[in-house]
Homo-oligomer: A and B are copies of this chain.
Amino acid sequence: MKIGRQEHRSSAISTSSAETIIVRGKDLCGELLGKVSFTDYFWFLLTGAMPDARQRQVLDSTLVAIAEHGLVPSVQASRMTYAAAPEALQGAVAAGILGCGSVILGAAENAGRMLADVVARSAQQPVKDAAAAVVGEMRAARKPVPGYGHPLHKGEDPRASKLFAVAAEAGVPDKHRAAALAVQAVLPELTGKNLVMNVSAAIPAVLLDAGFPVGALKGVPILARTASLIGHLLEEQARPIGFVLSHAASQAISYDGSVPPGFVAGDA
- Contacts from A to B (Cβ < 8 Å): 1-6, 8-34, 36-39, 41-42, 45-46, 48, 57, 59-61, 63-65, 67-74, 76-77, 80-81, 83-95, 97-106, 109, 151-156, 158-159, 161-163, 165-166, 169, 213, 215-216, 218-219, 222-224, 226-228, 230-235, 237-260, 263-268
Contacts and interface: CB of A to CB of B under 8 A. Distances in A.
A54 to B, nearest CB: 12
Given A1-B268, A76-B246, A37 B37 contact: yes
B41 A63 contact: yes
10 contacts: A10-B254, A17-B263, A24-B257, A38-B38, A38-B39, A42-B230, A76-B77, A86-B103, A87-B102, A248-B252
Given A84-B104, A249-B76, A64 B41 contact: yes
Given A81-B98, A95-B77, A46 B231 contact: yes
B22 A259 contact: yes
A241 B253 contact: yes
A33 B57 CA distance: 10
A-B pairs, 10 with minimum CB distance: A85-B101, A17-B266, A248-B252, A219-B230, A12-B257, A15-B255, A45-B231, A25-B258, A88-B88, A77-B77
Contact of A249 (B29, B45, B219, B249): B249
Nearest to A44: B231
B74 A100 contact: no
Contacts of A100: 84-85, 90
Contacts of A16: 1, 69-70, 152, 266, 268
A228 B45 contact: yes
B45 A2 contact: no
Given A33-B64, A81-B77, A1 B264 contact: no
A254 B29 contact: no
Contacts of A30: 260
A88 to B, nearest CB: 4
Given A26-B260, A226-B222, A19 B73 contact: no
B25 A260 contact: yes
Given A13-B231, A77-B80, A99-B84, A33 B222 contact: no
A57 to B, nearest CB: 7
B21 A69 contact: yes
Contacts of A252: 9, 244-245, 247-248
